[in-house]
């Protein structure tokens, strides 16, 4: 009659929450580091690509930002994430 509890934690989601929190608090270096770690874990995690592009855009690193936004559009040209990437590209380059 023994029961035990198994806690399942999605480490990718936990790391993304930490990165997004750092990003929203203006700690761009920490957020960038965490987004890159996320992409090492899963290169297809598009929100990390998108937010990394936004960090680059905030810092004026337009070439890097454009690369991230284009990557998002190549993988997901439709839907909300694609629209956000497209809007950022248009703002940067007038696409």
**pLDDT tens for each residue of 13-64:** 999 999 999 999 999 999 999 999 999 999 999 999 999 999 999 999 999 9
- Please state whether 33 falls in left (phi above 0), alpha (psi between -120 and 50) or beta: alpha
User: Do residues 31 and 55 make contact, with C-beta atoms less than 8 angstroms apart?
Assistant: yes
Q: How many Å from the N-terminal Cα to the C-terminal Cα in the chain?
A: 64
pLDDT at position 1 is 55
pTM: 0.85
């Amino acid at each position: 009659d023994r029961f035990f509890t198994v806690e399942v934690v999605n480490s990718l989601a936990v790391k993304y929450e930490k990165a997004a929190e750092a990003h929203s608090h203006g700690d761009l270096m920490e957020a960038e580091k965490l987004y890159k770690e996320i992409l090492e874990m899963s290169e297809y995690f598009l929100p990390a690509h998108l937010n990394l592009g936004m960090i680059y855009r905030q810092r004026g690193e337009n070439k890097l930002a454009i690369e991230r936004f284009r990557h998002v559009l190549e993988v997901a040209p439709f839907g909300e994430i694609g629209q956000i990437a497209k809007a950022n590209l248009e703002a940067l380059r007038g696409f």
